Amino acid sequence: MNYPIESTNPVVRTLVEGSAPQPARLAAARGVLPLPQADLLEALAHLASDADASIATAARETLASLEAAAISSVLQGENAPRAVLDHFAGHPGIAAEIHEVVLRNPKTSPEAIVTLAETATNPAILDTIATNQQLLIRNPKLIEAVLANPNRSAEAERRVTETRREFFEKERGAEQIANELRAQGKEAAAEFFESAESDIDPEDAMLIAAMIEVPDADTDDSWMGLEYIEELYEETEEQRQHALNKIIGEFKGEEGDISFERVSMINRVMKMGMKDRVRLAMKGDREARNILIRDPNRVVAQAVISNPKITEQEVEKIAAMRAVPEDVLRTIANGRQWARNYAIIHNLARNPRTPIASVLPILTRLQARDLVAMSKNKNVSDAVRRQSLRLSQMRKGQ
């Protein structure tokens, strides 16, 4: 690799470019030319690959003889020449403290660090590389280099293997799933899995894909404003298990025994991260909506109402559900597209979970017999019963 000359010392430039007299270049290669330490190191790093074999050999021997402390003091700075950093990265036999400084310096080239990972004889160096996850993510070749080095420790192998599985195998898996879905003509499902954040098993992914029917272009997530940001963080495992048990319990309460297939599907859906459940709620089919409207997280449940495929029959059923978050019922009550459906507004009025501020305007649109029934309904609040009674009496002229 050809490195630029970073030193501002004109002597270094003449030595590296070959315009200096041969005795001066040889003196520099032997380390006897009076130069500042940083300039001398840069000159030596360039001369170590000089076309003149005698100069190159002398420069390499000089570099190998220098004290580690003197080298490290130069390589620690942000102005450390890249030629010097890469030279020491490519030599496995030098002091470990020099290699550690080289690894920490962001100017060291990725190729040189891969060479170091391939050739290092000290397991501690490989441990240092393996524990720097950001370095591994930026330079994936390092993972294979560490795994191919017989001097690696068991801990280094474990760490790089975990990083590969978490950041690269998962990504390749999602891409493979997306390609298979496109081959089947399922573009909406492919879009979903290309941007999925959850680590979904391929078998689970293909089953969930069958539930996705809305493409990205047809969804609107602009309603997810700043007030929801705090709820977008992932739940704990305990919270997710609680949500799973709650949903299965509600299905059992409504339908009695539920099939193993449905329990399995609910399990697969609830294994997804919260953000992916929000996206599935906005893109999924009726079954996905029926599961996710019961999610205790109000953002997920509200996303179901934003699904462009949701039907009036579904909204009518949701409006009567006692376990949905108040925000969902408020959204339905405020939606103009649902206001024309009498069954929906009637269910909202009778649902004790509907916020009073949303119920009171609805009462004026109820039929007289339903107002009378509302005035006697012990499940709704006193305020709703009193207002229902007033309205029913007004219509009777009392």
Name the pLDDT band for 172 (thresholds 50, 70, 90).
low
Q: Where are the domains of the chain?
A: 10-108, 197-310, 321-398
User: How many Å apart are CA 270 and CA 244, to the nearest integer?
Assistant: 6
- pLDDT > 70? residue 168: no
Distances (CA, A) of 153 to 4, 87, 121, 159, 164: 36, 25, 11, 10, 17
- pLDDT > 80? residue 220: no
Model confidence pLDDT, tens digit, residues 115-154: 888 988 888 888 888 888 878 878 888 889 899 999 999 9
Q: Whose structure tokens read 């996206």?
A: 279
pLDDT given for residue 222 in this prediction: 67
Of 90, 98, 96, 58, nearest in space to 74 by CA: 98
pLDDT given for residue 174 in this prediction: 64
User: How many Å apart are CA 357 and CA 376, to the nearest integer?
Assistant: 20
Model confidence pLDDT, tens digit, residues 248-291: 988 888 877 888 888 888 988 988 888 888 889 999 999 999 99
> Please, what is the average pLDDT of the chain?
85
Model confidence pLDDT, tens digit, residues 96-125: 888 888 888 888 888 888 888 898 888 888
Whether residue 209 contacts residue 186, with contact meaning beta carbons closer than 8 Å, is answered with yes
pLDDT given for residue 304 in this prediction: 94
Report if pTM > 0.75: no
Model confidence pLDDT, tens digit, residues 289-315: 999 999 988 889 999 998 999 999 999
Q: Whose structure tokens read 């024309």?
A: 340
Name the pLDDT band for 353 (thresholds 50, 70, 90).
very high
pLDDT given for residue 202 in this prediction: 67
Name the pLDDT band for 318 (thresholds 50, 70, 90).
very high
